[in-house]
Amino acid sequence: MADLLLHIIIPIAIFLFIAGFTLFAVYAERKIAGFVQDRLGPMETGKYGLIQTIADILKLIQKEFITPSAADKALFLTAPVIIFVAVFIGYSVVPWAPDFLPTNTNTGLFFILAIVSIDAIGILMAGWGSNNKYSLLGAIRAIAQMVSYEIPVGLSLISAIMITQTLNLNEIADLQGIHSPEIIYFMGFWDVTDIGGLFAWHIFQAPHLLVVYIIFFIATLAECNRAPFDIPEAESELIGGFHTEYGGIKFAFLFLAEYAMMFLVSILGVIIFLGGWNTPLPNIGSLRLADWTTGLGWGLFWTVSKSLLIVGIQMWVRWTLPRFRADQLMTLCWKILIPVAFVCMAISGLWRILVIV
C-alpha cells in the first residue's frame, strides 16, 4: 500500500516541480529578455511583476476550449498530452541526489533518449491535426530538425558512455565525485579521486569531453526548439508554428512541455557531464570542502542549481543569437556537429583503451 502511494506521490511531486519551474522560468525568461534589451520586463503584476506568470496561467486555465472546425479532432486533442507525457516520462529515471531517483534502471539514459523522441510525433500530430498551413510547416520543420539533431545528441552521449561504461544515470553521476567506485583522473594524468569537486567532473576527465559537452548543449538546444533553433515556432514567420491553433489549457500544456524539456536536457547534461549531484568544491588538504558539501540535501541543491544555471545559459543564448535559416541549421548539424561528434567518439574509444586501461 505504501509502495503504491509512493508511486502516486512521486509523479505528482515531479509534476508540481515542473509546473513551479515553468512559472519561474517564464518569469526569468521575460526578465532576462528585458534586461538584455535594456528594458525592465514585467513590472505591473505584483512587486517587480513577480506574480505575472501566475496571472498568465490563471488566464489560460479560464479560457474556452476552441477546436478549429476543419481540424482532425482526435489528433488535435491528443497531441498536447503526448508531447507533455513524452517529456514528463523522461523525468522518471533522472537522479536528483545520490540514490534519490524515481527509478534506478540500468538503461536510464537509453530510456530517456527513446522516450523523449516521441515528442517529435506529438509535434507532428499537433501540426497535422490543426489543419493549418503554418502549423503544418512548423511541424515539418520541427520533425526535420529534431530527427537531425537526435544524431549529434546520441553521438555525444555515446562518447561519454564509452568513458563511463554504464547507462545507469545514477552510476554515471556517482563516477564523478569523491564516492566514485573507480579511480578518477583529471585529464587522464592526475588522480583526483580523493580531491573530487570540479576536477572530477566528466568534462574535465578527458579533454575532448568538453567539446562533446558543447556539442551536446547545442544539439539539445535544437531538440527543445529553442532559439536560435526555433524555426519550428518562428513567431515572425509562422505565427506560432505547430501551436498556432492551440489556446487555453492545451497551449499551457505545450508550454509546460517546452520548459520541462529545457530542464530535462539541462539536468541530463549536468548528470552526464557536469558532475550531477557532486559538489564543485574540491578537497584542499585538510580543508575537506567536498566532503562537507556532499549528501542528500546538498546533492539536491547542486543538481537543481547547476541545472538552473544551464537553463539560464539557454535563455541568455536565446536572447543573443538570431534564428538560423533552415539550410544553415542542417549545415550545422550534418557538416559540423556530426563529424566532430564522430571524431570525439573515436577519441573516447582510444582514450578508454589507451589512457584509462
**Binding region for other proteins (CB under 8 A):** 32, 34-40, 43, 316-317, 319-321, 331, 335-336
Cell numbers 513524452 correspond to what residue?
Answer: 86
Integer Cα distance of 304 and 306 in angstroms: 6
Which residue, 221 or 281, is less far from other proteins as judged by CB?
A: 221
Q: What are phi and psi of 190, to 5 degrees?
A: -115, 120
Query: Which contiguous run of DSSP H or E holds residue 227?
Result: none
**To the nearest whole angstrom, how small is the minimum distance from the Cβ of residue 43 to other proteins?**
7
Which residue, 36 or 81, is less far from other proteins as judged by CB?
A: 36
**To the nearest whole angstrom, how small is the minimum distance from the Cβ of residue 156 to other proteins?**
17
**To the nearest whole angstrom, how small is the minimum distance from the Cβ of residue 275 to other proteins?**
23
C-alpha cell at 168: 545507469
Neighbouring CB atoms inside 10 A of 188's CB total 12
Q: Which residues, 6 or more positions from 342, have their beta carbon under 8 angstroms from its beta carbon?
A: 155
Which residue, 180 or 314, is less far from other proteins as judged by CB?
A: 314
Please say whether the beta carbons of 120 and 146 come within 8 A: yes
**To the nearest whole angstrom, how small is the minimum distance from the Cβ of residue 35 to other proteins?**
4
Q: What b/e sequence results for 305-340 when a residue is b if at least 16 CB atoms lie within 10 Å of its CB, and e otherwise?
A: ebbbebbeebbebbeeeebbeeeebeebbeeebbeb
Which residue, 43 or 355, is less far from other proteins as judged by CB?
A: 43
Which residue, 85 or 330, is less far from other proteins as judged by CB?
A: 330
Which residue, 63 or 335, is less far from other proteins as judged by CB?
A: 335
Q: Please list the residues that pair with 97 across neighbouring strands.
A: 100
Which of 230, 269, 75, 253 has its CA nearest to residue 146?
Answer: 230
**To the nearest whole angstrom, how small is the minimum distance from the Cβ of residue 182 to other proteins?**
34
**To the nearest whole angstrom, how small is the minimum distance from the Cβ of residue 95 to other proteins?**
30
